[in-house]
Structure 1
Amino acid sequence: MMKSASKFEKFAARSWNLLNEGKPFTPIFTVGTMVFFHLGDFAAGISDFLLAALIVLPLFVLYFVFDFPLFLRNYLWIPFVVFIIVWPELNINLLLFAAGLYFFFTVFFWGTFYYHLRIGTSWLNFSRFWKLVLKNSDSTSGNAQEQLPKIFLLLSVWELSYTAIARETTVPLFHIALFYGFVLVYTFILHRYLFDWKPKAYDRYTKDDGPEVPENGLSDKVIVIVIDGMRKERFYEANTPFLDQIKENGTEYLNMETVYPARTVVCFSSMFTGTYPFEHGIKSNMVYKLGVHTETIFDSLRKVGKRGRLLGIAHLVDAMGSDVETVTAVMHKDKADTNMLARARKIIDEQDPDLFVVQMIGTDQVGHSRGVLYDDYIEKIEEADALIKEFVQWLEAEGKMENTTLIVCADHGQADGIGGHGHLDEGERFVPFFMHGPHIREGQKVQEKHSLVSLAPTLAYLMGAPYPANSRGKVLIDAIKARKEETQVE
């Protein structure tokens, strides 16, 4: 039986996100590289080193504030080229040392050692992982095309300042300040005029514009199965007879859009609060302040005496707190979803929640460790199909599907490279989403674009609970039969 995530694992997951998420990784890696490279120089004191660090601090702040998502990362080399033109005497050994450390960390430590210990990938995974790192497009430390130009520029400015201070020559503070001004203006222009693909947020609350929630709701229970990281067109390519049957006999949303940034904890927070990161407060997998800042669907259900549970891996507790049943993420990739659904049966047996959400993680794990454009990824989607079939058949045998709505979706897709997701590259933005049950229209294909923030208010509508206070999503009313009586007549 699958173990719950321990306190140590929750702490370790949060700590790992410091190295996994791109924003904290950049300063941590840069500082670590400088310290290791100059370790032998500290015998005479480190005051010069720290003073030089203060000089480069504004550039650290700028790179932490701005994302440089997707193709904007290509423009990161321009400031570095300008720096080389103005200060051509680079410390090549430092940059080569940094590049070596970076690829050792991403390809061998992360892509091979870490994934072998956590999910059982081969010790030879580095033979593929290096290619994934070079083409990765997401917001993690594994995005070489974003991280390397940032790291090279930070190290070069720091080294320039440190060398001048150590040699007691004049630090070109005025010219460095002018250079910072150029980088700031350049960065602002790029993000102001080229960063235009972030999804448009709904500007009104569901409670003001949404339909009146039916008294007592429509469904006695709702089961939500989230296949983490399932890329939409790869799902269509896979052989998934059971999921195909569910979506063909229910309602499928053909243009269901995830949120930005498309990181797992962000997406789950948006799906179950009905609103966006600027409001619920979860803006990456690195959660600095635990807990969403708004009501969740679980809070709404409590108001009408109903109960919801979310079964997922450790870091979801950072957003949803005690409404999450955490499970260990340290398990072989071929056992993860089998164990997850075994734990799901146990929760339903023992707790019988009105809303039950389960996160299947095998597809996402393989996408990150092996890439999404290989057969390994398709095989995980097909495995998920077979496991979901067994799970639903068990629910039916237990009498749990008589007046139950089943929703199957992904929280985000995955792009090329190491299963990248975050900045809404191709393969990330639109996700599979379909509903099935006695109150769901059959054979319906909805072309209109919708957002995953619509999940929470739709759950509230189906279950007779008030909309979460800050929910902005639109109820997916075109999937729902007009009246409860309509299904009874049929």
Structure 2
Amino acid sequence: MKKASKFEKIAARCWNLLNEGKPFTPIFVIGTMVLFHLFDGITLEEIKRLGSSLLLTIPLFVLYYVYDYPLFLRNYLWIPYIIFLMIWSFVPTNLLLLAVSLYFFFTVFFWGTLYYHLRIGTTWLNFTRFWKLVLKNSDSTSGNAQEQLPKALLLLSVWEYGVHHDVHTPSFIAFYVFVFVWSFILHRYLFDWKPKIIDHYTNNVPPNEKPLSDRVIVLVVDGMRKDRFEQANAPFLKSLRANGTDFTQMETVYPARTVVCFTSMLTGTYPFEHGIRSNMVWKLGIRVESIFDALRKVGKKGKVLGIAHLVDSLGNDVETVTAVMHNDVADRNIMERAKQIMTEQDLHLFVVQFIGTDQTGHSRGVHYDEYVQKIEEVDQLIQQFVEWLHEQGKMDNTTLIVCADHGQADGIGGHGHLDEGERYVPFFMYGPMIEKGKRIDEKYSLVSLAPTIAYLLGAPYPSHSRGPVLVEALKKEGER
């Protein structure tokens, strides 16, 4: 299987400018405004007015960068727009119709149909389902129509008003003060579902200088929703869970974006500390130690096998796979590459990202049969991989950890704002050092993964690890 090329890594970063909601908003609004006035035959004087009236929208662009308006809060985005209409009675109908048309063309046809067909082989008729997913989507991407449309309509209306009218500055100042205060109050008092931050570094047990396991293998089924996993016919994974320790209340981090989640899982801390706040990574690399740095201190090797996005965070500790392949063969190709890496590098820690389930959720939705089928397929592939590890003598004292980095919500497999289906993820451990048939119902966070791996492999905790070691899963000393 091919690695992600340099071009693919750059293309993935460029795509995130359009995929992630915060950079998309200004790109889309500015692009729409330019196209609209180009169609009209723009003059030098109009260019000057466009530039000067753009300044009028800057406070709104800043506002929408600072405040997320997640989940049901996006309904309140319409209030400032309604107030604008009431005060200034200005509706640039043709401009707004162009914006709505361009938005749905981009999301439904360019992204949902052309992009997914070329990248993962979805049908050319994917638009027949994708439009419904865009309307329902609640995540923090550009495909969240209920968030992006009211933002764009207000920004374009204010901008176009400044082109055609003399601006009464005190009125707009008062309007912006209201919008900022309104946003602050909403996010201060209604945005209350973020996971609780652990306010201290890992201290529930001292670092373990003597390794319990020779090897830890973490199998991450990207985007596997917990309730859909329960509905799937996945006998091998469920047998691992039944013969190991199951953490039934394992919580992901906020925002629940793939690069954020993997970074938190492998550093043991949160975005405010490691610096990765979305899939759009403005400054490459993390600000803290990862589990791979901790392993190097004791002469041990680790890698994560994953898509190009992860390089932006974890750099050379990532063995990349190309994400440009038909989704029906993606996870099988990843498994074969995983075998090759284990044969060549004989790693102490190996984290494998299976992407088929997540990509199906994004392109086809999570409440359809295709999504469950991908979970069932990855179950068979993981069984084959584990059986191969046994054949190669690499399972004698190995701990397996199976989990998802985040769940997925309704719509286009949305994840980010912790809608229903995103927050709690499957997470279970299996191996000779792990308690059998144990169920842990206490709430834990994925930030416990890194310190738990360090404890199992006899390495120090990563520098800013906050999650507690999952000692409840470990056999007592006399039982080992």
**TM class by smaller structure:** over 0.9
Residue 436 of structure 2 is matched in structure 1 by 442
Residue 267 of structure 1 is matched in structure 2 by 261
Structure 2 matches for 1:71-470, cutoff 5 A? 71-164=72-165, 170-206=166-202, 209-470=203-464
Residue 21 of structure 1 is matched in structure 2 by 20
Amino acid at match of 1:12: A
Contact 2:71–2:138 under 8 Å retained in 1: yes
Which stretch of structure 1 is more off in the superposition, 123-132 or 88-97?
88-97
Structure 2 matches for 1:61-72, cutoff 5 A? 61-72=62-73
Answering whether residue 476 of structure 2 is matched by residue 482 of structure 1, we say yes
Moved over 6 A (4+): none
Amino acid at match of 1:289: K
Query: 2:19, 2:338 → 1: CA distance?
Result: 28
Deviations along 1:182-236, whole A, 9 cap, x unmatched?
1000000000000000000101101xx2312333310000000000000000000
Deviations along 1:273-304, whole A, 9 cap, x unmatched?
00000000000000000011000000000000
Amino acid at match of 1:273: T
RMSD of aligned C-alpha atoms? 0.7
Query: 2:294, 2:288 → 1: CA distance?
Result: 11
Q: Give the superposition deviation at 1:44.
A: 2.7
Deviations along 1:354-377, whole A, 9 cap, x unmatched?
000000000000000000000000
Query: 2:234, 2:469 → 1: CA distance?
Result: 28
Query: 1:80, 1:137 → 2: CA distance?
Result: 20
Contact 2:452–2:469 under 8 Å retained in 1: yes
Which stretch of structure 1 is more off in the superposition, 300-309 or 80-89?
80-89
Q: Give the superposition deviation at 1:43.
A: 2.7
Contact 2:77–2:150 under 8 Å retained in 1: yes
Contact 2:90–2:157 under 8 Å retained in 1: no
Q: Give the superposition deviation at 1:42.
A: 2.5
Query: 2:237, 2:133 → 1: CA distance?
Result: 29
Query: 2:228, 2:377 → 1: CA distance?
Result: 13
SS of 2:278's equivalent?
A: coil
Contact 2:208–2:460 under 8 Å retained in 1: no
Q: Give the superposition deviation at 1:87.
A: 1.4
Amino acid at match of 1:43: T
Residue 6 of structure 1 is matched in structure 2 by 5
Answering whether residue 43 of structure 2 is matched by residue 43 of structure 1, we say yes
Query: 1:29, 1:192 → 2: CA distance?
Result: 28
Query: 2:281, 2:42 → 1: CA distance?
Result: 34
Q: Give the superposition deviation at 1:177.
A: 1.2
Deviations along 1:464-485, whole A, 9 cap, x unmatched?
00000100001000000122x5
SS of 1:38's equivalent?
A: helix
Amino acid at match of 1:486: E
> Where does the alignment leave 5 or more consecutive residues of structure 2 unmatched?
none
Deviations along 1:406-450, whole A, 9 cap, x unmatched?
000000000000000000000000000000000000000000000
Q: Give the superposition deviation at 1:41.
A: 4.2
SS of 1:390's equivalent?
A: helix
SS of 1:445's equivalent?
A: strand
Deviations along 1:318-354, whole A, 9 cap, x unmatched?
0000000011110100010000010000000000110
Contact 2:245–2:430 under 8 Å retained in 1: yes
Amino acid at match of 1:7: K
Query: 2:90, 2:296 → 1: CA distance?
Result: 65
SS of 1:282's equivalent?
A: coil
Query: 2:297, 2:479 → 1: CA distance?
Result: 27
Residue 473 of structure 1 is matched in structure 2 by 467
Residue 167 of structure 1 is matched in structure 2 by none
SS of 2:148's equivalent?
A: helix
Amino acid at match of 1:364: D
Amino acid at match of 2:59: P
Q: Give the superposition deviation at 1:91.
A: 0.7
Query: 1:42, 1:54 → 2: CA distance?
Result: 19
Contact 2:390–2:396 under 8 Å retained in 1: yes
Amino acid at match of 2:8: E
Amino acid at match of 1:148: L
SS of 1:205's equivalent?
A: coil
Counting matched residue pairs gives 478
Q: Give the superposition deviation at 1:55.
A: 1.2
Query: 2:168, 2:104 → 1: CA distance?
Result: 32
Deviations along 1:139-192, whole A, 9 cap, x unmatched?
00000000000000000000100112xxxxx21222111111110000000000
Query: 2:164, 2:14 → 1: CA distance?
Result: 33
Amino acid at match of 2:469: V
Query: 2:161, 2:420 → 1: CA distance?
Result: 39
